[in-house]
Amino acid sequence: MLRKGADIVIQTLKEEGVEIVFGHPGGAIMEVYDALYRDGGIRHILARHEQGAGHMAEGYAKATGKVGVAMSTSGPGATNLVTAIADAYMDSVPVVFITGQVPTHLIGNDAFQEVDIVGITRPITKHNFLVKGIEELPLAIRQAFYIARTGRPGPVLVDIPKDITQKLSDVSIPSLEELKESLPGYRPHLEGNLQQIRKAVRLIMEAKRPVLYVGGGAVQAEAQKELVELAELMKIPVATTNMGKGAFPELHPLALHMLGMHGTYYANMAVYNCDLLIAVGARFDDRVTGKVEEFAPQAKIIHIDIDPASISKNIVVDVPIVGDVKIVLRKLLEEIKREGAKLYFPEERQKWLERIEGWKKKHPLTYRKSNTVIKPQYVIEQIYEATKGDAIISTGVGQHQMWSAMFYKYSFPRQFINSGGLGTMGFGFPAGIGAKLGRPDKEVFVIDGDGSFMMTMQELITAVQYKVPVKVAIINNGYLGMVRQWQELFYERRYSEVDLSIQPDFVKLAEACGAVGFRAEKPSEVREIIEEALKIQDRPVIMDFHVDREENVLPMVPAGKSYRDMILEDGKKAVEAETMYLVG
Amino acid sequence: MADTIGSAELNAVKTPIFREVKKGEVRKHIITLTVRNELGVLARIATLIAGKGYNIEDLSVGETHEKGISRMTLEVIGDDVVIDQVVKQLRKLIDTIKVKDLTDTPHVERELALIKVHTATPRARDEVLRLVEIFRCRIVDVSPETYSVEITGTEDKVNAFIELVRPFGIKEMARTGKVAMKRESIPQEEE
């Protein structure tokens, strides 16, 4: 049967199980939009800016585990997607980006709305294609989905010239077998080497002071059950990264919460003093390690990761295990049980847990409370309580993101959605819209900063149009808060260009767009408006919380410094070197 | 501010032994790749290496006996640890089928150069002819003023020849970059 290229695109998307596409039309992608209209089987969300469409697709993918799809036209449409593509690349989010391209005969001629998007996105995609003929079209799209979701997930871009979407062809959609044959060099390794797994088991049983360091890979693999079993069976405390939040339930007694730059005192102390660090789907990012020479200085390191290139990239490890986190953990648990799940130093292990308890008691996550001014942390605690810890939280980037990581407790994977690797301001709101569309059964709160929100706030109208009841809590301090904090701490309070106190009236903005707006200026109003917001289910809500302007995110390890240089929440004093001693 | 936890052990505290970051040796690496001959594959590889801050010293590409499959040989100068990372990243590319760092494996290396030498005097013509004989190269083009010489061999051999003919005046020169292949036999004397 002869079909237009554009119809092949839509058919292939449906074969891949795509239910929703985020995008913005334009000249070069018009045929695909026409096919979308005629077919009627896929829901399309019209973002008001392609960056918004990209982040929505990411939020959808992060919240559901499915592949997100974002679509745009050529040229400026495609370049507007670039930030979202880079963001998805850094956080290993499976998203297929489809861009229109100028007709084949004009490529390279500086045609209207032409840009070499395949060239531009080469370093920020897992793979990308320019479709050169209609025969390649269905295979390219199938390959894109396959590559995006298997192995270490990531963004894949398919650039389709306009004439190819217009041509007729009877090319069929390739099977999975044909698809795999077409990619001879692509074989993600899932199983994990048994020899290495046995070495790891031995180290885990022999360790006196082990710590699990869990990252986004464990969320992707949905390995929560295995992690809890391993932690409980071998009595190992668990620190999670920003991306790993929810991979291990945070109310669990073995939870150390976040480690690294804005990690808890006890997580950082545990990592600093451990003799075995088990990294699971984490990549030793510099926001985690600080000064690498002084990161877990006494520890042997086991690293489980699906990406062989992640291993020994920043830190040379002792036992590398390449494979899917869930599969490897299962095998590891099997081996542990086969060995009788014994601990070589049970007393030492007990002492280790007690010492960690002590650290938790000494410096829990806390902040100075106030009756007169709203503390940002308080807002997040109130959201946590009002939603009974069950909401999906999406954030922008900055102080509010870190407070959201610290003061909301996450218990299931895919619950905390934020831009970890690229640190994209403006990510949270569109990602929250995507998350809510993917998980309509959950409350979705966007905890955003005033600076972050203003970067993509035009998507408010998108949320109104599609009746997406996301709750946006703006932690409004009238500053680019994180930059201000650094300026306060490291630049002698020279607040260069961070004042955002001239800003729109967010309540009126909400109303202008047909959403609901609330404002809180006193602590007593906080819970009230959250409860009000929770009642609204047919449109988005903006809650504008005017918070303490100069509140800081603490604890903090200054960039590139050791955990020994951690600044604590009380009195903002750096920890003296001799207090961060090594035990054992 | 003293840590109250385990303060009894404070006296027994060991001097911290910080994790050393191993810096690798900086040297020439010969990397061979088998790749699908797809649009942009060369750009992908070049972008990746440039993105790590390294320059490709030399590069050669050509199709293999299998249709659609090309082989590349490239030479990069860099830190061992970082090159290992580059090799891993190259392996991750969807278009690459095989990537090998041949640096520490016995291998055969060859390079081809075409050199146009000024040979306007009978003395120069005699001398260059003799060098061509000694180096077992071929003269592929002759004019009253020049000889064009084709030379194949290791980088050292090609360099040595170039240095010997340089005094006569080199009018033009083109080198292919290396091709390399793992040796199957035990290392032997270069023929």
Asked if A308 and B6 come within 8 Å (Cβ–Cβ), the reply is no
Sheet with A471-476, edge to edge strand ranges: A416-417, A392-395, A444-449, A471-476, A541-546, A516-520
Name chain B contacts of A583, Cβ cutoff 8 Å: 6, 9, 13
Give the number of other CB atoms < 10 A from CB of residue B67: 7
Write out the two tokens for B65. 């006996």
Asked if A122 and B95 come within 8 Å (Cβ–Cβ), the reply is no
For A374, phi then psi, to 5°, come to: -75, 125
How far apart are alpha carbons A35 and B99 in whole angstroms? Answer: 42
Measure in Å the smallest separation between the Cα of A441 and chain B Cα atoms. 37
Exposure string of A297-327, with b = 16+ CB inside 10 Å and e = fewer, is bbbbbbbbbbbbbbbbbbbbbebbbbbbbbb
According to DSSP, the β-strands at A68-72 and A95-101 are parallel
Please tell me if residue B20 touches chain A, with a CB cutoff of 8 Å: yes
> What is the reported pLDDT for B54?
85
Measure in Å the smallest separation between the Cα of B178 and chain A Cα atoms. 24
Name chain A contacts of B98, Cβ cutoff 8 Å: 185
Return the DSSP state at A565.
G
Q: What are the pLDDT tens digits along chain A (584 aa)?
A: 899 999 999 999 999 999 999 999 999 999 999 999 999 999 999 999 999 999 999 999 999 999 999 999 999 999 999 999 999 999 999 999 999 999 999 999 999 999 999 999 999 999 999 999 999 999 999 999 999 999 999 999 999 999 999 999 999 999 999 999 999 889 999 999 999 999 999 999 999 999 999 999 999 999 999 999 999 999 999 999 999 999 999 999 999 999 999 999 999 999 999 999 999 999 999 999 999 888 999 999 999 999 999 988 888 899 999 999 999 999 999 999 999 999 999 999 999 999 999 999 988 999 999 999 999 999 999 999 999 999 999 999 999 999 999 999 999 999 999 999 999 999 999 999 999 999 999 999 999 999 999 999 999 999 999 999 999 999 999 999 999 999 999 999 999 999 999 999 999 999 999 999 999 999 999 999 999 999 999 999 999 999 999 999 999 999 988 888 888 876 555 455 335 555 54
Q: Which residue of A has its CA nearest to B17?
A: A297
For A560, phi then psi, to 5°, come to: 75, 0
Measure in Å the smallest separation between the Cα of B33 and chain A Cα atoms. 11
> What is the reported pLDDT for B7?
41
As annotated, the active-site residues of A are 50, 112-113, 162, 482
Burial class from Cβ neighbours inside 10 Å (0-12, 13-18, 19+) for residue B178 reads: buried
Asked if B98 and A185 come within 8 Å (Cβ–Cβ), the reply is yes
**In this structure, are residues B172 and B116 in contact, taking their beta carbons and an 8 Å threshold?**
yes
Please tell me if residue B97 touches chain A, with a CB cutoff of 8 Å: yes
Name chain A contacts of B36, Cβ cutoff 8 Å: 184-185
Q: Which of B13, B16, B39 sits opposite A132 (nearest CB)?
A: B39
Asked if A583 and B13 come within 8 Å (Cβ–Cβ), the reply is yes
Name chain A contacts of B19, Cβ cutoff 8 Å: 292-297, 315
Could you tell me what percentage of chain A is helix, strand and coil, using 3-state DSSP and rounding each to the nearest 5? Answer: 45, 15, 40
- The secondary element (H helix, E strand) that includes residue A534 is helix A523-535
Q: Which residue of A has its CA nearest to B38?
A: A129
Nearest residue to A407 (alpha-carbon basis) of A373, A385, A445, A381: A381
Please tell me if residue A579 touches chain B, with a CB cutoff of 8 Å: yes
Residues 6 or more apart whose Cβ sits within 8 Å of residue A445: A383, A387, A391, A392, A393, A394, A432, A470, A471, A472, A473
Question: With helix as H, strand as E and coil as C, how does chain B read?
Answer: CCCCCCHHHHHHCCCCCCCCCCCCCEEEEEEEEEEECCCCHHHHHHHHHHHCCCCEEEEEEEECCCCCEEEEEEEEEEEHHHHHHHHHHHHHCCCEEEEEECCCCCEEEEEEEEEEEECCCHHHHHHHHHHHHHCCCEEEEECCCEEEEEEEECHHHHHHHHHHHHHHCEEEEEECCCEEEECCCCCCCCC
Question: 3-class SS at A440?
Answer: coil
Please tell me if residue B3 touches chain A, with a CB cutoff of 8 Å: yes
Rg (CA), chain B: 25
**Cα of A31 vs its chain's centroid, Å:** 33
Q: Which residue of A has its CA nearest to B81?
A: A313
Return the residue in B4, B14, B17, B18 with the most chain A beta carbons within 10 A, the one to mutate for interface testing: B18
Handedness of CA A29, A33, A38, A41 (dihedral sign): positive
Q: Where are the alpha helices (DSSP H) in A27-136?
A: 30-39, 50-64, 76-90, 117-120
**In this structure, are residues A41 and A68 in contact, taking their beta carbons and an 8 Å threshold?**
no
Asked if B97 and A118 come within 8 Å (Cβ–Cβ), the reply is no
pTM, 2 dp: 0.94
Q: Which residue of B has its CA nearest to A266?
A: B5
Question: 3-class SS at A456?
Answer: helix
Give residues 92 to 151 of A whose Cβ lies within 8 Å of B. Answer: 118-119, 122-123, 126-127, 130, 132, 147
Say which residue the tokens 């020439």 belong to: B28
Residues in chain A: 584
Return the DSSP state at A322.
E
How far apart are alpha carbons B119 and B142 in whole angstroms? Answer: 10
Report cis status (omega within 30 of 0) of the bond before A555: yes
For A450, phi then psi, to 5°, come to: -65, -40
How far apart are alpha carbons A357 and A256 in whole angstroms? Answer: 10
Give residues 30 to 69 of B whose Cβ lies within 8 Å of A. Answer: 35-36, 39-40, 43-44, 47-48, 51
Q: Greatest CA separation found in chain B?
A: 93
How far apart are alpha carbons A280 and A240 in whole angstroms? Answer: 9
How far apart are alpha carbons A55 and A463 in whole angstroms? Answer: 13
Please tell me if residue B8 touches chain A, with a CB cutoff of 8 Å: no
Burial class from Cβ neighbours inside 10 Å (0-12, 13-18, 19+) for residue A361 reads: exposed
Return the residue in B9, B13, B19, B95 with the most chain A beta carbons within 10 A, the one to mutate for interface testing: B19
Return the DSSP state at A28.
G
Mean pLDDT of chain B: 87
Nearest residue to A127 (alpha-carbon basis) of A112, A106, A113, A141: A141
* Backbone dihedral region for residue B53 (phi beyond 0: left; psi -120 to 50: alpha; all else: beta): left
Q: Which of B18, B35, B51 sits opposite A293 (nearest CB)?
A: B18
Measure in Å the smallest separation between the Cα of A400 and chain B Cα atoms. 29
Asked if A185 and B10 come within 8 Å (Cβ–Cβ), the reply is no
Handedness of CA A189, A193, A194, A198 (dihedral sign): negative
> What is the reported pLDDT for A313?
84
Q: Which residue of B has its CA nearest to A293?
A: B19
Measure in Å the smallest separation between the Cα of A99 and chain B Cα atoms. 17
- Could you give the C-alpha distances from A460 to A19, A77, A113, A467, A566, in angstroms and in order? 22, 20, 27, 10, 39
- The secondary element (H helix, E strand) that includes residue A129 is strand A127-130
Please tell me if residue B6 touches chain A, with a CB cutoff of 8 Å: yes
Q: What are the pLDDT tens digits along chain B (191 aa)?
A: 334 334 444 434 455 666 665 667 889 999 999 999 988 899 999 999 988 888 899 999 999 999 999 999 999 998 888 898 899 999 999 999 999 999 999 999 999 999 999 999 999 999 999 999 999 999 999 999 999 999 999 999 999 999 999 999 999 999 999 999 999 876 555 54
Asked if B18 and A313 come within 8 Å (Cβ–Cβ), the reply is no
- The secondary element (H helix, E strand) that includes residue A157 is strand A155-161
Q: Which of A132, A184, A579 sits opposite B3 (nearest CB)?
A: A579
Nearest residue to A282 (alpha-carbon basis) of A212, A330, A336: A212
Asked if A582 and B16 come within 8 Å (Cβ–Cβ), the reply is yes
Q: Which of B4, B18, B92 sits opposite A309 (nearest CB)?
A: B92
How far apart are alpha carbons A475 and A461 in whole angstroms? Answer: 20
How far apart are alpha carbons A146 and A154 in whole angstroms? Answer: 10
> What is the reported pLDDT for B55?
86
Q: Which residue of B has its CA nearest to A129?
A: B39
**In this structure, are residues A138 and A110 in contact, taking their beta carbons and an 8 Å threshold?**
no
Asked if A119 and B40 come within 8 Å (Cβ–Cβ), the reply is yes
Write out the two tokens for B159. 């360099």
Instruction: A524-527: list long-range contacts, CB under 8 Å, 24+ apart.
Output: A526/A374, A526/A378, A526/A379, A526/A382, A527/A382, A527/A385, A527/A386
Crossing angle of helices A224-234 and A325-338, rounded to 10°: 30
For A70, phi then psi, to 5°, come to: -130, 145
Asked if B21 and A183 come within 8 Å (Cβ–Cβ), the reply is no
How far apart are alpha carbons A459 and A464 in whole angstroms? Answer: 9
Q: Which of B18, B85, B94 sits opposite A186 (nearest CB)?
A: B94
